[in-house]
């Protein structure tokens, strides 16, 4: 008999559903952070345990490190780690207050002369990192690092002096894109989906969508992947699909694709769940630890995308 006043057990997903299989995968392989994030999104878990787990990655400088982004090992704060932390806080509805004020101070301290973020700072030297992540003494600003962070802060109506120049940088970077690669386009979409100037964002997204289609950056037919080139430096077969750009039907990128193209894309995503219940890492793999730690996050995002489009997950 349950004790009086005991907390109710979380609902159990239907056996053999995608969610049930993913839950077993999470308990088997995930870090505490992703376990609690999975519980928050799919098992009626609370936000406090997620934030407690996230705090373990936070440093005194206000940034985040400790392999929060698994392809960067070591304790030092990095913009990519910090962007991932903001994404977690955004998912919890807690991207504000003093915690984000501290993050913005960190972002200010590590920005380049043009007020935006490099992907990797030279402090990463001496710690293991993926070989496809360049570490230089004077790293340039990158839309890849800056766009998602600026978008998250705007979506949560955070106002900080750092945002002004960083927003200008993102606009200039997006407006000047004549060729790109999928991860950079995804960063641009993260910015455009949340920046306050909606008319300008819609116009920029329309132009970006034409670029994506003209350069075949999205694999529109998963049954004919040879027709779509893989970007230089990407893993063999590392294609990106409509759902990678439009992670919800509310994204500006959704207008880039027909209903039929999106249906095929989501079918392909759903079919990607592996026997152990998780989704695979598609980018270059360089160490088993980073791959193992990345798959739970990939799995959560796959389920969230399918759920956002009304697909049954369990």
Q: Which two tokens stand for residue 204?
A: 């920029």
Q: How far is CA 287 from the centre of its chain?
A: 20
User: Does residue 62 sit within a domain?
Assistant: yes
At residue 3, does pLDDT exceed 70? no
**Would the pLDDT of 6 be above 70?**
no
Q: What would the two tokens of residue 74 be?
A: 């070591």
Distance, CA of 240 to CA of 245 (rounded, Å):
8
pLDDT for residue 13 = 66
DSSP state string for 181-239: -HHHHHHHHHHHTT-S-HHHHHHHHHHHHHHHHHTT-S-S-GGGGGGSPPPTTSPTT--
| 57 pLDDT above the threshold of 80 | yes
Asked if the structure places residue 215 within a domain, the reply is no
**186-220 confidence digits (pLDDT tens):** 999 999 999 999 999 999 999 999 999 999 999 99
Count how many domains the chain has: 1
| Mean pLDDT along residues 8-28 | 83
Say what percent of the chain tops pLDDT 90: 94
Q: Are 284 and 130 in contact (CB under 8 A)?
A: yes
* Domain presence at residue 109: yes
Residue 48: predicted pLDDT:
98
The model carries a pTM of 0.93
Q: From CA 184, how far away is CA 172, in angstroms rounded?
A: 14
pLDDT (0 to 100) of residue 4: 47
pLDDT above 80 (res 10)? no
What lies within 8 Å, CB to CB, of 68 at 6+ separation is 33, 57, 81, 84, 85
The answer to whether position 27 is within a domain reads no
pLDDT in tens, 226-247: 999 999 999 999 999 999 999 9
Burial pattern 233-270, b for ≥16 Cβ within 10 A else e, equals ebeeeebbbbbbbbbeeebbbbebbeeebbebbbebbb
Domain assignment present for residue 157? The answer is yes
Provide the percentage of residues in the chain whose pLDDT is more than 70: 95
Structural domain of residue 139, as residue ranges? 57-176
**Is residue 237 domain-resident?**
no
Q: How confident is the model at residue 16 (pLDDT cuts 50, 70, 90)?
A: confident
What was the pLDDT predicted at 12? 64
Asked, for residue 253, whether it belongs to a domain, the answer is no
Which residue carries 């990797």 as its tokens? 120
What per-residue confidence (pLDDT) applies to 273? 98
Mean pLDDT, rounded, for 93-109: 95
Mean model confidence pLDDT for the chain: 95
Residue 311 in domain:
no
């Amino acid at each position: 008999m349950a004790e009086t006043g005991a907390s109710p057990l979380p609902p159990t997903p239907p056996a053999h559903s995608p969610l049930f299989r993913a839950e077993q995968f999470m308990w088997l392989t995930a870090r505490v952070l992703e376990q609690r994030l999975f519980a928050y999104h799919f098992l009626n878990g609370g936000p406090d345990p997620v934030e407690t787990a996230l705090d373990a990655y936070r440093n005194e400088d206000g940034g985040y490190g400790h392999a929060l982004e698994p392809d960067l090992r070591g304790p030092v704060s990095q913009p990519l780690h910090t962007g991932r932390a903001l994404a977690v806080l955004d998912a919890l509805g807690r991207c504000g207050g003093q915690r984000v004020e501290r993050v913005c101070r960190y972002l200010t301290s590590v920005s380049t002369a043009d007020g935006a973020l490099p992907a990797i700072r030279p402090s990463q030297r001496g710690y293991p990192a993926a070989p496809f992540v360049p570490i230089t003494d004077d790293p340039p600003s990158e839309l890849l690092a800056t766009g998602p962070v600026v978008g998250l802060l705007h979506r949560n109506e955070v106002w900080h002096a750092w945002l002004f120049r960083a927003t200008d940088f993102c606009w200039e970077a997006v407006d000047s894109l004549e060729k790109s690669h999928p991860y950079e386009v995804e960063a641009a979409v993260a910015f455009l989906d949340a920046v306050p100037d909606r008319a300008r964002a819609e116009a920029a997204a329309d132009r970006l969508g034409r670029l994506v289609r003209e350069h075949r950056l999205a694999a529109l037919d998963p049954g004919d992947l040879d027709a779509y080139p893989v970007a230089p430096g990407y893993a063999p077969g590392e294609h990106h699909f409509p759902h990678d750009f439009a992670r919800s039907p509310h994204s500006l990128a959704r207008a880039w694709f027909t209903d039929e193209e999106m249906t095929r894309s989501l079918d392909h995503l759903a079919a990607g769940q592996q026997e152990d219940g998780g989704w695979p890492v598609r980018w270059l793999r360089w160490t088993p630890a980073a791959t193992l730690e990345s798959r739970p996050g990939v799995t959560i995002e796959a389920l969230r995308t399918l759920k956002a489009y009304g697909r049954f997950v369990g």
